[in-house]
C-alpha cells in the first residue's frame, strides 16, 4: 500500500473542504499523497452542476456549494467519507481509471461485509439490489463496454444507492472523494433528489442487514482504497 489512511474523525465539512483546497493548491511534485477518512455532521453539499430545485426542504441542515463534480448529496453521522489527495501523474493513470478504482475499492469493501455492489451506466457511485443484496447476478443496466455504445438514461429499478462519488482534479491532483453509507439516519436523503435523480432510493449497510461499527467500516474502506489506488 502506498497510502496510509489518516482517520481525522468527525469534522465539519466546510473547513475540511477548505483544507483539501489548500493542500492541493500548495502541494509540489514532491508532496506525499494523502488519504483522509472522516465523518461529517449533517450537511448538504452541491456540486458544480447542482440545482437548487433538487433540495426540497433543507430545514436546519446547512447547504455548502462546492467545486466537485455532480449535484446534491447529503453527509451525516454514520457515513464514512474518504478524500484521496493524489497526484495522478505520479500514480500513472488517468481520471477515468481513477474513478473506476474508487468504485472498485467500495465494491471490495461491501464484499468484505457480504454485500454485492454494482455500477450503473451513466450514474457514478455504487448501488445494491434491494431485494437481494448478496446477489452476484450482473445488472442489465451495468455500464456498456462497447466503444461506440450510445449513452442511456440511468435505470435504478430495484436498486438503492449505498455509496456516492464526487471528485475534483486540479493540475492532475485529486480532491473531494466518496462516501459510503454505514448506519445513518437516511431521512435527510428524502428531502433531496440524491445526485440529481428524482426518486433514487438511498440505503446503508444497516438497512441491508449488516451491523458494523463505523470504525470497522472506515478501516476496511481505507485499506481497500490504499490498495486499489496504488500506482
Confidence band for 94, pLDDT divided at 50, 70 and 90: very high
| Position 152 in a domain | no
Lowest mean pLDDT among 170-179, 188-197, 221-230: 188-197
pLDDT tens for 25-64 read 999 999 999 999 999 999 999 999 888 899 999 899 999 9
pLDDT value of residue 122: 87
| Position 131 in a domain | no
pLDDT value of residue 225: 98
| Position 151 in a domain | no
pLDDT value of residue 147: 54
| Position 170 in a domain | yes
| pLDDT more than 70, % of the chain | 96
pLDDT tens for 113-147 read 999 999 999 899 999 999 999 998 889 888 876 55
Is the CB of residue 49 less than 8 Å from the CB of residue 71?
Answer: yes
pLDDT value of residue 1: 47
The better pLDDT of the pair 9, 151 is held by 9
Ramachandran area for residue 70 (φ above 0: left; ψ -120 to 50: alpha; else beta): left
Kindly list the strands in the beta sheet with 34-39, ordered across the sheet, starting from the edge strand earlier in the chain: 6-10, 34-39, 79-85, 173-181, 159-170, 123-129, 118-120
| Position 111 in a domain | yes
At 181, which CATH number? Answer: 3.30.930.10
The better pLDDT of the pair 55, 149 is held by 55
pTM of the model: 0.95
Q: Structural domain of residue 83, as residue ranges? A: 6-115+161-228
- The 3-state secondary structure of 125-187 reads EEEEECCCCCCCCCCCCCCCCCCCCCCCCCCCCCEEEEEEEEEEEECCEEEEEEEEECCCCCH
User: How would you classify the pairing of strands 173-181 and 63-65?
Assistant: unpaired
pLDDT value of residue 112: 98
pLDDT value of residue 154: 86
Report the chain's mean pLDDT, rounded to a whole number: 94
User: Which residues fall within 8 angstroms of residue 206, CB to CB, at 6 or more apart?
Assistant: 78, 182, 183, 184
| Position 155 in a domain | no
Q: How many CB atoms lie within 10 A of CB 40?
A: 21
pLDDT value of residue 146: 53
pLDDT for 152 beyond 80: no
| Position 72 in a domain | yes
Q: Is 195 a catalytic residue?
A: yes
The better pLDDT of the pair 153, 45 is held by 45
pLDDT for 2 beyond 50: yes
Nearest to 12 by CA among 69, 77, 109: 77
Q: Indicate the number of domains in the chain.
A: 1
| Position 82 in a domain | yes
Amino acid at each position: 500500500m502506498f497510502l496510509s489512511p489518516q482517520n481525522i474523525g468527525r469534522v465539519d465539512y466546510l473547513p475540511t473542504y477548505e483544507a483539501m483546497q489548500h493542500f492541493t493548491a500548495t502541494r509540489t511534485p514532491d508532496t506525499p499523497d494523502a488519504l483522509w477518512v472522516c465523518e461529517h455532521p449533517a450537511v448538504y453539499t452541491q456540486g458544480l452542476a447542482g440545482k437548487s430545485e433538487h433540495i426540497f426542504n433543507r430545514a436546519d441542515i446547512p447547504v455548502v456549494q462546492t467545486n466537485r463534480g455532480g449535484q446534491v448529496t447529503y453527509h451525516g453521522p454514520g457515513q464514512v467519507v474518504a478524500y484521496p489527495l493524489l497526484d495522478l501523474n505520479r500514480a500513472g493513470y488517468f481520471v477515468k481509471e481513477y474513478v473506476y478504482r474508487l468504485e472498485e475499492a467500495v465494491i471490495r469493501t461491501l464484499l468484505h461485509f457480504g454485500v454485492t455492489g454494482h455500477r450503473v451506466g451513466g450514474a457514478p457511485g455504487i448501488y445494491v439490489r434491494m431485494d437481494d443484496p448478496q446477489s452476484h447476478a450482473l445488472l442489465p443496466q451495468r455500464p456498456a463496454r462497447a466503444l461506440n455504445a450510445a449513452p442511456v438514461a440511468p435505470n435504478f429499478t430495484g436498486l438503492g444507492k449505498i455509496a456516492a462519488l464526487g471528485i475534483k482534479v486540479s493540475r492532475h491532483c485529486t480532491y473531494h472523494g466518496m462516501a459510503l453509507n454505514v448506519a445513518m439516519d437516511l431521512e435527510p436523503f428524502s428531502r433531496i433528489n440524491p445526485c440529481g435523480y428524482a426518486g433514487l432510493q438511498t440505503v446503508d449497510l444497516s438497512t441491508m442487514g449488516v451491523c458494523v461499527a463505523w470504525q470497522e467500516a472506515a478501516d476496511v474502506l481505507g485499506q481497500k482504497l490504499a490498495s486499489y489506488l496504488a500506482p
